[in-house]
Amino acid sequence: MLTRFLLLCSLSFPLIVAIPAGLVPDQLGFTGHGVFQIPDPTASFGRHDSYFPGPSEVGFPGPTATGSEAAAIATAPAAALNLDTYPIIAPSVRYSGSNPEFNPMRYWGSLTPWFSVGDAFGLPNTSPQVPDGCELDQVHLLHRHGARYRTPMPGANDSDSGLPSVIGRPHFKASGPLQFLNTWKDLLGEEILTPFGRDEPFNLGVGFRVKYGELLNRFKRHLPVFRTCSQERMVQTSLNFAAGFWGIPEYLTSYHQLYIIEAPGFNNTLAPYMNCPNAFGKHFLTGIYAAGNWSELYLAETVPRLQEYIKGYTLTVKDVSWMQETCAYETVALGYSKFCELFTEDEWRGYEYASDLSFWYGFAFGNPVAAAQGIGWVQELVARLTKERPTVFDTSMNRTLNSNKITFPLDQPMYVDATHDAVIANVITALNFTTLAANGPLPSDHIPIDQESCLRFTTPSHAHVSYVQTFRVRDITPFSANLVAQVVSCATSGRTKKMPFIRFLLNDGVVPLTGLAHCEKHNRDGLCLLEDFIKGAKERISEVDFTQDCFGRD
């Protein structure tokens, strides 16, 4: 009789049992007259490893031939864009029916899930695809972590103060659209990634592999080195990105993940504020004040409207702003939030603009310290482009790591760095992406609109108004934001040999390099001759005084 053999691993020893072919075994125990004894799980203090053998123990993998690497960014006729947030639910707008296409999720500033932004940066006929006549040579990715839980801020309106602190008390009573507050509980964690936040970098990794996977064929001497910070959400973001990019379990052995300490006193270009005392000084506070002043204006009529449904507590502007913020955090954490239904289209536009003000003056063009914080990563970019190791360490660059060819290689065709939203804002400021600042400093008493004189924010719907604001945090540094530098070789007139160029994509939108010296000439595809970019970047680096900006008198 034909006999089959099955290797089963018990808690104490492997057991090989011969059984007749007609008696097919289950995964763990035998069918029919099998006599295998299931081990006692208490013998290993609750571990059930013997019940769940790994794939190498189970065997039978089936076909495993691997196909060629994808290069969709260079071969596809059109770019695949990110326009979805499955499985979280897009909120509805209860009080405004003037614009049924309005999606509040797109107006959460830095709490917005990332979407492909199209021509948001002023180049309407461009695409993330490698331009015709060009070939991809190298790619650099700087990306933000995925959606996270709320960060508790000292003195902020958290669960220990303001509205959250009175919910559930006997004297508090809510009715109408706020009735859900009577039984509402804070179900959010703190700072780490939400389930959707783990999905974002995973999908970003999958997309990056499909677009740029062919570059892996050019790694010759060592495994790729990707970098991130030591914070938990940064670690998990990078691992989820790697799992999406490499696959599971291949990511465990396909690359090196460098974790750079994120703590005060440690140099880290992916968290430069940790060694820049002025990062949260008076200039940063200007953003907080501007956002606060604006909130008093755009929520002036919202507070009394919602107060009608609350007894036993007097609402403040901070309470209502907290409700809008909680809508965003609950949605990316729990998939849906009742808070989202409370606000009109105008109120969501107002909330978005508060985030824009906070970032403009706190982390970007409105803060003199912003470029200093972003310039360290620009120095690293230049080093990678020129293959010249840094020798001067007078910014946030880490001398120990960047002096070592193992932890800071210069010969990779692909680089991936994971960072925070503030740092992406710092970097675009250091790179002087002036098209994002084309309409100048943001006023704190109105949203700039397309009219000769800027109108004050009012409560009637502005759905018909064309907003001309060029600095929108939702387009620049949402959750899982990604800044990509493509190095390409392109045919040029009068030359027989292709020349290297560089261009930048921010959330799939091509960014003109008109603000950087030697790259001012407008190019439809956002291209700048690589040698001109390097020259302009070095000049920009020389203009930024990190020591003065970060350690001088604020």
| pLDDT at residue number 34 | 40
Would you say residue 94 has pLDDT above 70? no
Helices (H), 25-141: 55-58, 72-75
d(CA 445, CA 447): 7
Span 361-382, average pLDDT: 98
Read off the pLDDT of residues 374-403 as tens digits, 9 standing for 90 and up: 999 999 999 999 999 999 999 999 999 999
Max alpha carbon distance in the chain (Å)? 93
Span 95-102, average pLDDT: 63
d(CA 202, CA 272): 25
Share of the chain above pLDDT 90, in %: 72
Span 17-28, average pLDDT: 43
d(CA 482, CA 116): 10
Span 414-437, average pLDDT: 97
Residue 27, SS3 per DSSP: coil
pTM for the predicted model, two decimal places: 0.88
Query: pLDDT class for 61, splitting at 50, 70, 90?
Result: confident
Read off the pLDDT of residues 289-300 as tens digits, 9 standing for 90 and up: 999 999 999 999
- Across all residues in the chain, what is the average pLDDT? 87
Span 165-178, average pLDDT: 95
Give the residue, 478 or 18, on which the prediction is more confident: 478
Please tell me the least confidently modeled range out of 398-402, 415-419, 432-436, 550-554: 550-554
Query: pLDDT class for 153, splitting at 50, 70, 90?
Result: low
Instruction: Give me the domains of the chain, ranges plus CATH numbers.
Output: 3-58 (no CATH), 107-150+193-283+358-551 (3.40.50.1240)
Span 280-284, average pLDDT: 94
Q: Going by C-beta distance under 8 Å and a sequence separation of 6 or more, which residues neighbour residue 129?
A: 73, 74, 76, 77, 78, 79
Strands (E), 154-239: 173-174, 225-229
| pLDDT at residue number 2 | 39
| pLDDT at residue number 246 | 97
Query: Which residues pair with residue 168 across a beta bridge?
Result: none
| pLDDT at residue number 151 | 87
Would you say residue 345 has pLDDT above 80? yes
Span 331-337, average pLDDT: 96
Query: pLDDT class for 97, splitting at 50, 70, 90?
Result: low
| pLDDT at residue number 20 | 42
Q: Going by C-beta distance under 8 Å and a sequence separation of 6 or more, which residues neighbour residue 15?
A: 7, 8, 9, 36
| pLDDT at residue number 187 | 95
| pLDDT at residue number 152 | 77
Please tell me the least confidently modeled range out of 28-32, 364-368, 373-377, 537-541: 28-32
d(CA 528, CA 385): 13
Residue 39 near residue 55, CB atoms below 8 Å? no
